[in-house]
Chains A and B, each alone.
Chain A
Amino acid sequence: MRFQSQKVAYYFFATCMLLLSLQIVYGFIMAFAHMGYDVLHNVIPFNTARTTHTNLLVVWLLTGFMGAAYYIIPEESGRELYSVPLAYLQLGALVIVGVVAIIGFHFNYWEGRKFLEIPRPLDYLVVVDVLLFLLNIGMTIWQGKRHSTTSLVLFFGLLMAALLYLPGMIDTDNQTLDSYWRWWVVHLWVEGVWELIMGAILSFLLIKLTGIDREIIEKWLYVIVGFTFLSGVLGTGHHYYYIGTPKYWLLVGGVFSALEPVAFLGMAIYAITMARKGGRTHPNQNALSWTVGCSVMSFVGAGFLGFAHTLPQVNLYTHGTLITAMHGHMAFWGAYAMLVLGIIAYAMPLLTGRKLHDTTTATFAFWTSNIGMIAMTLAFAVAGISQVVLERRVGLDFLTVQKELQVHFFGLTLAATLFTVGIAAYIVNFIRYGLPVGEVTPEQPGSDS
């Protein structure tokens, strides 16, 4: 840690831990409902549980990105954060908006559009909050000593994520257009600008952890995000096959989305190569595991499992089934959850001054959560394939098929328990680190670690 103000990141990371725990609780509520035990139906019906689960996910990831930016940007720019109080204010406001939204979900107060359920008045507050965040980061970069590619890509990714929130607020009476604009947010986030954020954070971690020359790492960063946009923008078409939009999207979406895995493959090769080449061994091997793990698992979840259902001929049958849930879990986990957990694993020893990165708990957390998530993905996959065959191919009734799937949700619950043990270990380690009282070590000329 180079600057005192980087410590605000800690409070963002602590918020992440809290929201992640809550997200998992709601995941279990849904898994039980799928097994036939919807005992909480009168208090927390399935739609409440689902909306809370996915919104908590998005909010903790965004909080994690913000924390990461508050850690990375001062270091990359070579100066203190523009304003520390603003950062606290902005975190507080975000938490309040989140809490109000989640309480609202339990009282039928929401917008009812998947992933964008936050009610309209709160949407505006989110926008203001993100603008404050961008102002803080932007001013730090602007007044900084250096304008590194990593910090510019990170800033551009965050700025575009904020701008792309706006199409989600377009009002229309036509369900098709509603979903058309919804994908501008959902798809262009996860398969577009969030990948910039991911590329930038991975680059920062690789520069720090492997000691490889910044110029080489940042050059490949450009190539990878170049591939992301080449395929990902027109790849939005893979959501426009069957919602009442013209047929040419089958071709455009099919071809370009089929290329999307290239960017994820590039990311994986890049991280593995840099980690191998790294001249010196950084003490924080756990952070390196999360970094390389993130690039590999995002290729599996987003690249491979995304490709598995992206061709229109396949998607006709898998569209809107548990196959999508299988892909959604592994992709979000690999690309974004592991990314945030990785930057936290890297930053915590420096923020708190306690070297708990290579404890057994940290290693255990990494492996158990990953094995748990792979098992969860398999459970969703078996359920999803059975659903597609029985409902879409054989033509059995929806509810009849769901009865057949209950056993797979028992499997999911077991896998999710393993995953939760891993996450619990991660959080225990996080708590053991204590508060951010680490020492600030001034930069030595020429060093980049």
Chain B
Amino acid sequence: MLSKSAARSFFLVGTLVCVAFFIGLTVDTLGRVPAQTRAQNLTDSVKLGKKLWEKNNCMGCHTLLGEGAYYAPELTRVYERRGPQFMRALLKDPQAMYPGERKMVKYNFTDAEIDQLIAFFQWIGEMDLNGFPPKPHLVQLAVTATSTGGGVAQASDRPFVFNQMCVACHTMGGQGGLVGPTLDGVGKRLTADYIAAWLRDPAAVKPGTRMPRLPLTDKDITELTAFLSQQK
């Protein structure tokens, strides 16, 4: 039968061996993390963005690298998913971008601070995360070959801004957000002129609408109008 002193030795030796291995692996990991996380791109702006991220405890609602709270969207690939214009508008006023949805705190960030947060998300988005976040499997949508997966499948036949901004609130082919009406068949309902005017300033077309005026260039609007008019 096992004696008490043998049990004690088992505990002490087992613990020491495992701790030694763990410390060895930690040293190795510390050496490799800079390359894997593209630490050469850690500019001052990114560092300040990280400080803002921590100071405001964004992790108390969101997850980043899959860590945090489960109340608001996972942000690891948000730069790729939404793009800088959308994020800038959202960080200025979350309510404008997601009217009537689950609420985010409205912060009074300066433009410089918003740039820092965006730089931080851009840096996070470039890390090699061993395959996280996973690509959705059960959808039959064509997924852009270059996309590293952002939770939402991105169809390649659409304008880039559409995949970044419009799907936050609109669905097409069953994918996207539910804030606005689906854009399936929108070309049947609306004329190209109406769509272009709408995108330039929704409130001018329909006062009091919940669709915000988005930061779109003329080129974006032409592209989007052409694309949407074809949706019949």
Contact = CB atoms under 8 A, between A and B. Distances in A.
Contact of B102 (A176, A215, A242, A402): A402
A46 B61 contact: yes
Contacts of B58: 47, 112
A434 to B, nearest CB: 39
Interface string A390-424: 01111111111011000000000000000000000
Contacts of B50: 173, 175
A233 B134 contact: no
Interface stretch (B28-36, B85-93, B185-193, B221-229): B28-36
Interface residues of B, number: 78
A91 B139 CA distance: 56
A226 B61 CA distance: 37
Contacts of B141: 395
B57 interface: yes
B124 interface: yes
A173 B14 contact: no
A173 B47 contact: yes
Interface stretch (B15-23, B110-118, B196-204, B206-214): B15-23
Given A219-B3, A247-B130, A234 B67 contact: no
B42 A397 contact: no
A320 B127 contact: no
A38 B60 contact: no
B175 A395 contact: yes
A80 interface: no
Contacts of B28: 246
A223 B130 contact: no
Interface string A217-233: 01110110111011001
A178 to B, nearest CB: 8
Nearest to B36: A244
B175 A252 contact: no
A345 to B, nearest CB: 29
Contacts of B29: 180, 240, 245-246, 249
Nearest to B34: A174
Contact of B25 (A117, A247, A252): A252
Contacts of A51: 57, 60
B223 to A, nearest CB: 22
B68 A320 contact: yes
B99 interface: no
Contacts of A223: 2, 7, 10-11
B130 A233 contact: no
A220 B4 CA distance: 8
B65 interface: yes
A396 B134 contact: no
A304 interface: no
Contacts of B61: 45-47, 50
Interface of A: 30, 33-34, 36, 38, 41, 45-48, 50-51, 108, 110-114, 117, 149, 173-177, 179-180, 182, 215, 218-220, 222-223, 225-227, 229-230, 233-234, 236-237, 240-250, 252, 316-317, 319-322, 324-325, 387, 391-400, 402-403
5 contacts: A36-B102, A47-B61, A112-B53, A112-B60, A242-B130
- Shortest Cβ-Cβ A-B pairs, 6 listed: A47-B60, A395-B136, A320-B66, A242-B132, A112-B54, A222-B7
